Structure 1
Amino acid sequence: MRGAPLFVGLQLTISICADFRMKFCDMQSSTSIDQPQILLHAFYGNLMRWSIIVSVCAIPSFIIAFKVYSVTAMVMGIVMLIAFYSFVASTKIWRASANNWQSVMSALSIAFKLKIFLALIWLPAFLFTKEIHFFVLLPDLYAGIIAHESIMYFLKISGDETTLFLPTLLTTLLQGLIVSLLVVLFAFFVVFPFSCLIRSTWRGR
């Protein structure tokens, strides 16, 4: 059956969701409270890695928004996101998860590399055509709209006030987190099942 490999990939995805809680609890119980939870040598490497990832992925949104919104707030938001991701990636729980779920981490790596690729091809396209090319920026576009409207709603401010420092900072942070969530969902529900499909098809030959 043609749908059998895809079904196998989806089955593996569901089994990982069902088994994640058990392994996560095991990792927590195996980590001593007295042990350092952050590995500094890993943090420096992750800081370099996430500086590249976040900065490149932020290029399109930054270029579009820097003439209107607070540049200082956007830069600070980017730096805060870099620090946050570097911190999380340096925790023992995250590193244990990376060792236990190598196939999932591989899917995440592919998804973020695709996001970087989209940002890199957008830049020359924008510079040569002077057009925004929204079709390349769909994750950033929707995340930006959601973040912008959410900050307006919760802070009870007008559209013009969103360009000030604090609203811009919060919008940058929220947009970055939403984009990251979209990339993770894409990795988990598209890249990972597709990689399972390829592996199952290859093994069946």
Structure 2
Amino acid sequence: MNFPRLYLASASPRRHEILTQLGVPHDVLKLPAVAGEDEPRLPGEPPADYVRRTARDKALRALAYLASPAGNGFEPRPVLAADTTVILDDDILGKPVNVDDARRMLWRLSGREHEVRTAVVVATPERLLEDVSVTTVHFAKLNEADVDAYCASGEPMDKAGAYGIQGLAGLFVEHIAGSFTGVMGLPVFETGRLLRRFAP
């Protein structure tokens, strides 16, 4: 497939891995950290709007960086940004701040169904296109040993909702309806559909 060479505006190793498996030529764009809370939710903002906005904000921040003096020397390319949001009871379960927070999230997910939305944005200074993958995930009932072992692995700490479906937490997932790679952080189908619209 003829994909454009792009910049990945994400430090996620999973997104980098998925693009590599697809054969999408890309470089990871390391952006300066943003001051204040990471990806704050606006008052009254529905989760479906939040995930789109945060992905769009990441793409726009990357484009602004490339247009700034700091981005001088980078060749023009599309930027790909994404955001993954785990939603339960209209709450957004972000990345846990510590082990206790991870435990709290895992117990909330135990034996229940939740939704994972991943928004993908591909943008240039001239245009911005976006898509969203929506997946329903059903967790089995967890027990203390499951939660203790998983938290001890360290895996929950950089994951939305305190779990990574592609890792040990795959043992907790009874069923999904939607995109496995969307839950990982970059839905292959939606990403490919967007990138084809930027193909040279």
Query: Normalising by the residue count of structure 2, what TM-score does the alignment of the two structures yield?
Result: 0.29
Higher helix share: 1
Q: Which has the higher contact order (CA 8 A, sep 6+)?
A: 1
Larger strand share, 1 or 2 = 2
TM-score, normalised via structure 1 length: 0.29
Q: Which has the larger radius of gyration?
A: 1
